[in-house]
Amino acid sequence: MRPPIDLYPYQLIANKAAVEPNTPPRYTLREDRLPGVTASWREWYESREVDEWLQSVGGIPDQGWNDQIIQHRQPKQYKFPTGYNTWFGPERFMAGEVYFTHSPQLMASAPNIAKPIPGLILDSLRACDPELRQVLISNVVLTGGASMFSGLSDRLATELGRQFPHFKIHAPGNPIERRYGGWLGGSILASLGTFHQLWISREEWQEHGKAIVGQ
């Protein structure tokens, strides 16, 4: 069992010493800043640090989960802001596997959890007009922080290729573009001179409901 890991941010660390892997960190906190730290900011930072860990060492097996293959995958080292550093082996693949398979334990604890990613994409395709499917199949775009998992694109191509053999997945190589692609696209759309023509007023929404979005 791996011991708990302190997720103190860089901003709260006054100094730290280099330590060997798997040994307790040696660091001193900035006592002058601790009283000003709110619970919401601390929660935000801890989530951000977990995201950084996932994007640095997290991985997804490209051909599906296989215990023997996972056990022989090369472990990756990660260093936390406190100076604590360690190697992560098979457990670094477990977080990403949730996007493709749900264990019985997870289903029992979260019965309303969404389908795995391949299932969501396939359901969306089946709900579209048949003549549009080929266009959509050729334009699957990976974006967002969760798409930074190593091996995600290959695994998704494997899973989707079982149903549709001509899938084409676009995954921007620039990590900034890929991580914030949704926000970048939204900002570009909002900056267009014609965007105000797409606005929906409160009066229109109250009169027509959600149908106004399609119009």
Specify the pTM: 0.71
Instruction: Provide mean pLDDT across the span 17-41.
Output: 92
Name the least confident of 19-23, 149-153, 202-206.
Answer: 149-153
Positive or negative CA dihedral for 31, 33, 36, 41?
negative
The pLDDT value recorded for residue 71 is 87
**Triad 118, 119, 120: Cα angle to 5°:** 90
Tens digit of each residue's pLDDT (9 = 90 or more) over 155-202: 888 888 888 777 888 887 788 888 888 888 889 988 988 888 888 889
CA-closest candidate to residue 80, choices 2, 169, 187: 2
The pLDDT value recorded for residue 51 is 86
One DSSP character per residue, the chain reads: -PPP-----GGGEEEEE---TTS--EEEE-TTTGGG--HHHHHHHHHHHHHHHHHHH-B--TT---HHHHHTSPPEEEE-TTS-EEEE-GGGGHHHHTTT---HHHHHH-TTPPPPHHHHHHHHHHTS-HHHHHHHHT-EE--SGGGGSBTHHHHHHHHHHTT-TT--EE--SSHHHHHTHHHHHHHHHHHSTTGGGG---HHHHHHHTTHHHH-
CATH 3.30.420.40 domain residues, the chain: 99-171
pLDDT tops 90 at residue 70: no
Q: How confident is the model at residue 1 (pLDDT cuts 50, 70, 90)?
A: low
CATH 3.30.420.40 fits 99-171, yes or no: yes
